[in-house]
Structure formats: structure tokens, C-alpha cells
Amino acid sequence: MVDPDEVNALAQLMTWKTAVANIPYGGAKGGIGCNPRDLSMSELERLTRVFTQRIHDLIGIHRDVPAPDMGTNAQTMAWILDEYSKFHGHSPAVVTGKPIDLGGSLGRESATGLGVVFATESVLAEYGKSISGMKFVIQGFGNVGSWAAKLIHDRGGKVVAVSDITGAIKNPDGIDIPALLRYKESNTSLKEFQGTDAMDPNDLLVHECDVLIPCALGGVINKENAADVKAKFIIEAANHPTDPEADEILSNKGVVILPDIYANAGGVTVSYFEWVQNIQGFMWEEEKVNCELKRYMHKAFLDIKAMCQIHNCNLRMGAFTLGVNRVARATILRGWEA
């Protein structure tokens, strides 16, 4: 469903996200309109290589560094790296989210999900709550959703419903996430996973829970379903899952929304760590990666909270104010003010 308008919007979100995370990047995005599930490995490889041939002059270590997003993974990044290197020589820092054997960072695969969990812990702590014992609903069980589910389960949270493109399942006592992850390795659909009941995917976002974490598509929480959302907290792990009308309806209901430009910034933060390691030619231990990620996520939360206090605004406005102010300050310092 990707198109130029969406790519532009995502590139802009990326600019504010890297500013909120306080990492030395701007914002960019790219995409191919296709369904990767319908393509064979060799078709995916050819598509990625031809795409790279067309954009190799637009990307670069100090220009634009792609990373995996919806429908892409470490293998996609490996093909881009290989194709780019045919034109420019071996350049591991030109992509992040690569396989470890090609210079990828330990902890990158789990980074967005782990960042989501650090962000969730920060916001819950503000309300005197923690993940343990709370009920979670997760839409999307790909890279971000499955890691978030696993890490929440490890911390004693109950994931009461999950969905992916094949369907949705629920269990009011909590789904056995480690078993579901094993099940997914050899099954394409979630629907027949034992110990759960299948449910209508359209009901997932309005299912009874404390915390709703959309980890799939944009625009899924909209004016049609916002009034029926039961969650008290929404953690935007997907990019722009809540449309502006829904945002207003939810705010009026007192739902706390942790915005995407902060909640899912763990991915680009560890992409930055991977790029730093590639440039330095020095690999970090996974513990160091996760520890630094925690530090960046915590600092960004404190910075957003300070903005909310100064401007008496919600977390989304606080995060945007922080990001836009940082970009504006840098722009003015360079002498670009109008």
C-alpha cells in the first residue's frame, strides 16, 4: 500500500524521531509497492538489487542509510549492501539492520521491540504502574510485535490478544508467548495456536486490555473505532497508527498515547549504534547496545516530559515540540533562518 505521499510522511516522521532520540541523523524513507509474501526469495532478491541499482547514488554512509521496516529484514539489507558495494566498494555502514556476519549490530533485531518496552515502562511508571500483571493487546506479530510480546511476557505482562495478517487470537489469562514464537517458526497462520480462541481481527483494537500496542499498519485507530477502544494506554510501536480524529477522541477519553516518534525510536537508535560500530570498525557487546539503548530512551522520555510540563501539553505535542525545536535550533545556528 506504500505510495509517495506515505513515504514523504514517513520521512518527515523520521526527521522528528531522530531529533527526539537526539542522534545525528535527519530523516528519509523509501519503499516498493508490492506484497513480499507473494514473492519468492529470488524475486525479492532481484527486486531489491534493481531498486539498489536505481538509488545507489542517492544513498551513502553520510547521506542516507537504509534500515529494515515493514516487509524487509536483515537479508534485504545484505542484498542492498552487496549491490551498493559493486558501485562504491565494500561499505558496511551504508545499511543497518544487516546480518551480524556482515557487520550488523548485536541487539539490532530486538531493538525496536526493546525500545517499545523501555518506553512503556517509563510511561507506566509515571502512573505508579509497571508491566507486571497488566493486560496487553498487540496488533502485528512481525519483528516489532513479536519482540515486544516476548519482552512484555518476560516481565510478567499478560498478552491477552495478538494478531497478524492471517488473523487474531485471544486468551483472557494471557497467551503463552514463548510457545507462540516456536509455533510461528513452522506455521504461517496464528489462528490455530492451541490454548487460544480465534477472534475477529476487527475487534482486536477494541478488545479489553490496559495497554494497546499497534505494531503493524498506519491509520488503524481512526474515527470509526476510537470511541470503542478500552485501553488506558496506547503505545504507538507502528508508524502513525492513530489518525488525528482518533487522537482527539482518545485524548478526550483520557487515554494516554505514547507517540510513534518516541515509542518506536529504539530501532533507529540501534541503527545509529550499528553505523558507529561500522565506522569505528569495533563491535560492541550486546549488553552495551541494550544498556545504551535504555539510556537514550530514558533521556528522551525525560526531555519529552519536560516539554509537556513547560507547554502544558500531551505526550504527542511534547515529543513534536522537542523534535521540531531541536531541528529549528540547528537550522538557525547554521544561519538558515528566514
Interface positions with ligand NAD (CB under 6 A): 68-71, 112, 139-145, 163-165, 201, 215-217, 237-239, 264, 267
Question: Which CB atom, from 163 or from 321, has the smaller least distance to ligand NAD?
Answer: 163
| Environment class of 193 (CB within 10 Å of its CB; exposed 0-12, middle 13-18, buried 19+) | buried
Question: Which CB atom, from 69 or from 83, has the smaller least distance to ligand NAD?
Answer: 69
Shortest Cβ distance from residue 182 to ligand NAD (Å)?
A: 16
Residue pair 219/2 in contact by the 8 Å Cβ criterion: no
Shortest Cβ distance from residue 189 to ligand NAD (Å)?
A: 10
* Biggest CA-to-CA distance, the chain: 62
Of the candidates 17, 29, 98, 170, the residue annotated as catalytic is 29
Question: Which CB atom, from 105 or from 112, has the smaller least distance to ligand NAD?
Answer: 112
Q: Is 29 annotated as catalytic?
A: yes
**Which neighbouring-strand residues pair with 214?**
139
| Residues in contact with 292: Cβ distance below 8 Å, sequence separation at least 6, in sequence order | 273, 284
Query: Minimal CB distance to ligand NAD: which residue?
Result: 142
Residue 102's alpha-carbon distances to 62, 87, 106, 215, in angstroms, are: 19, 18, 11, 27
* Three state DSSP letters for 267-322: HHHHHHHHHHHHHHCCCCCHHHHHHHHHHHHHHHHHHHHHHHHHHCCCHHHHHHHH
Question: Which CB atom, from 103 or from 140, has the smaller least distance to ligand NAD?
Answer: 140
Gap between the Cα atoms of 221 and 223, Å rounded: 7
Question: Which CB atom, from 96 or from 122, has the smaller least distance to ligand NAD?
Answer: 96
Shortest Cβ distance from residue 164 to ligand NAD (Å)?
A: 3
Gap between the Cα atoms of 27 and 137, Å rounded: 30
Residue pair 140/166 in contact by the 8 Å Cβ criterion: no
| Environment class of 104 (CB within 10 Å of its CB; exposed 0-12, middle 13-18, buried 19+) | buried
Shortest Cβ distance from residue 236 to ligand NAD (Å)?
A: 9
Shortest Cβ distance from residue 310 to ligand NAD (Å)?
A: 27
Shortest Cβ distance from residue 232 to ligand NAD (Å)?
A: 22
Q: What is the DSSP string of 18-78?
A: HHHHT-S---------S-GGGS-HHHHHHHHHHHHHHHTTT-BTTTB-----TT--HHHHH
Question: Which CB atom, from 14 or from 124, has the smaller least distance to ligand NAD?
Answer: 14
- Give the residue numbers marked as catalytic: 29
